[in-house]
């Protein structure tokens, strides 16, 4: 699965003023990323506000991205939840012919222990599909510990990658040190992308990357090439705006940037609200220097 390497972006879902899905803007966003160096696209992740989309809307978004992409970039589809049997059923019943892998977030709210997390992903692995584990404790309330990830990686070859977003960078390093050779780790935290890639990671599934695909994909490639100084120059240029976009929740911040760039309109669905005027001004000021 080496094609899922470099810059993957977790696409937002653009909305019109009436909060219907804005397919024209979605076309613009996909084309912008394809033209500017993004390596693969992640469809219906958390950044897509997938939790607030109806089943019909999800189907529309999936079909539209498949059509616009037209097999130019690899695609990853988000299918996750806290009902293991239901997630497994969804994976089995979804037409995945256009997708290279499933990105499946660890169960949220239930707060299973490490054995429960292991059994959850074991059940998903039984589908035989290519699955990316997604660990994001800030959203799920529970951490998939490095030892659990490594255990899963060793036992189920189709659990071939983790999008790791633990708050401690040491956890990334522990996985990289202990994982089997055919298992891949990508950063799920934009700010950690460079150090994690330099330590042996395969890049990032990014939020900020969809606004700055050229810069972010170049930074990751420089890291692969061992050009540390040049890579850190880009990292340092983007680090402040990366922090700003998450200051009031995701995707309020990234949508502010994309709206300012003219790619989409700045609307999100409740329970999220758009970034405050103060944060929007800070983001716009920071954009000037990039």
163 is catalytic: yes
- End-to-end Cα separation, the chain, in angstroms: 33
| Catalytic pick among 129, 163, 179, 282 | 163
Element (H, E) at 7: strand 6-10
Residue 102 annotated as binding? no
Residue 132 annotated in ligand binding: no
Specify the DSSP class assigned to residue 274.
Answer: P
User: Which ranges of the chain would DSSP assign to H, the alpha helix?
Assistant: 23-35, 55-69, 84-93, 114-125, 137-140, 146-155, 169-178, 193-198, 213-224, 228-245, 252-260, 277-288
Active-site residue (options: 40, 134, 192, 212): 134
CA dihedral of 174, 206, 65, 72, whole degrees rounded to 10: -80
Q: How far is CA 211 from CA 164, 206, 221, in A?
A: 21, 10, 17
C-alpha dihedral sign at 159, 212, 172, 44: negative
Query: Which residues are catalytic, by number?
Result: 134, 163
Residues forming the annotated binding site for pyruvate? 47, 205
Residues forming the annotated binding site? 47, 205
């Amino acid at each position: 699965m080496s094609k899922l390497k470099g810059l993957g972006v977790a696409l937002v879902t653009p909305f019109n003023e009436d909060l219907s899905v804005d397919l024209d803007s979605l076309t613009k966003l996909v084309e912008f990323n394809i033209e500017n160096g993004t390596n693969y696209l992640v469809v219906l992740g958390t950044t897509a506000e997938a939790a607030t989309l109806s089943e019909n809307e999800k189907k529309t978004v999936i079909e539209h991205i498949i059509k616009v992409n037209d097999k130019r970039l690899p695609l990853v589809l988000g299918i996750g939840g806290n009902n293991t049997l239901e997630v497994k059923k969804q994976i089995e019943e979804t037409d995945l012919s256009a997708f290279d892998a499933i990105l499946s977030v660890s169960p949220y709210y239930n707060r299973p222990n490490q054995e429960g997390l292991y059994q959850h992903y074991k059940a998903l692995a039984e589908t035989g599909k290519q699955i990316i584990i997604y660990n994001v404790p800030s959203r799920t309330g529970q951490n998939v510990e490095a030892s659990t990830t490594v255990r899963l990686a060793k036992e189920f070859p189709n659990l071939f990658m983790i999008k790791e977003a633990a708050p401690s960078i040491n956890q990334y390093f522990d996985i990289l040190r202990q994982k089997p050779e055919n298992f891949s780790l990508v950063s799920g935290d934009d700010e950690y992308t460079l150090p994690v890639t330099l330590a042996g990671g395969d890049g990032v599934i990014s939020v900020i990357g969809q606004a700055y695909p050229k810069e972010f994909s170049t930074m990751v490639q420089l890291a692969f090439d061992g050009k540390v100084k040049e890579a850190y120059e880009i990292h340092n240029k983007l680090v402040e705006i990366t922090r700003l976009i998450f200051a009031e929740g995701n995707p309020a911040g990234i949508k502010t940037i994309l709206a300012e760039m003219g790619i989409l309109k700045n609307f999100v669905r409740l329970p999220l609200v758009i970034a405050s005027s103060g944060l929007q001004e800070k983001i716009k000021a920071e954009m000037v220097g990039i």
